[in-house]
Amino acid sequence: MSDWKHLLKRYVATFERLDDMSADELLNPIGWMLAVGESDPYGFKQWQATEISTPDSCLQKLYAKLPGPFPPLFERLVLSYRWAEVDLHSYRLLANPPGQGLDGLLDQMSRDSGLWDALLPAGYLQFGRGPDIDYDPVCFDLGSKNKVGDCRIVKIDHEEILCNYRVKVISELAPSFEDLVLQTIELGERV
């Protein structure tokens, strides 16, 4: 097994350690599509991330609509797995829904047009949000790409965008996506 496959398998395994993975048909339709087993007494099911191989050509279609490519490890993640939005304690990872291609992922990333329209020209690409109910976008800082194509992970103040039309970085979550994955794995092992 290659290093990235092993690393991503460990990362995806942390989902169920850090999130309750519950799905409701109305409130979490993507989770419901990935649900397994019977409903609990309240009508909820548990969802699971699913390993699905997606052709690299799907990335090219997606990249035609983006200002730059994802970090390589995130590319491998979106081509290898499907998941519902998952809360990983320091951030929520936007869903990569089941379906043909990566159109569902693009829909998740661009759902809030106010944020999308402000972030892209500034060189930020949202792939997550703050934890719990925090709506601040968590983004790849495409302007900070290193020689291997990874970049720092930042959190942007959504109110500054929506109220003041300014993109303001409020924190750096990790110096790279790979570092964010390793931090998440470490957190999952401590819980």
Report the CATH number at residue 152.
3.40.1580.10
Measured in residues, the chain has a length of 191
- The sign of the torsion formed by the CA atoms of 52, 11, 23, 132 equals negative
Q: How far is CA 160 from CA 66, 106, 117, 138, in A?
A: 22, 23, 13, 14
The whole domain housing 102 covers 3-190
Strands of the chain, DSSP E: 22-23, 35-36, 45-47, 50-51, 81-82, 86-87, 92-93, 124-129, 137-141, 153-156, 169-174
Confidence of residue 191 (pLDDT cuts 50, 70, 90): confident
**What pLDDT does 180 receive?**
98
CB 119 within 8 A of CB 139: yes
> What does the mean pLDDT of the chain come to?
96
Each residue's pLDDT tens digit, 115-163: 999 999 999 999 999 999 999 999 999 999 999 999 999 999 999 999 9
**What pLDDT does 2 receive?**
63
Task: Provide the number of structural domains found in the chain.
Answer: 1
Q: Whose structure tokens read 């720092």?
A: 152
**What pLDDT does 182 receive?**
98
Average pLDDT over residues 89-115: 96
Each residue's pLDDT tens digit, 23-66: 999 999 999 999 999 999 999 999 999 999 999 999 999 999 99
Confidence of residue 100 (pLDDT cuts 50, 70, 90): confident
pLDDT > 70? residue 1: no
**What pLDDT does 59 receive?**
95
**What pLDDT does 104 receive?**
96
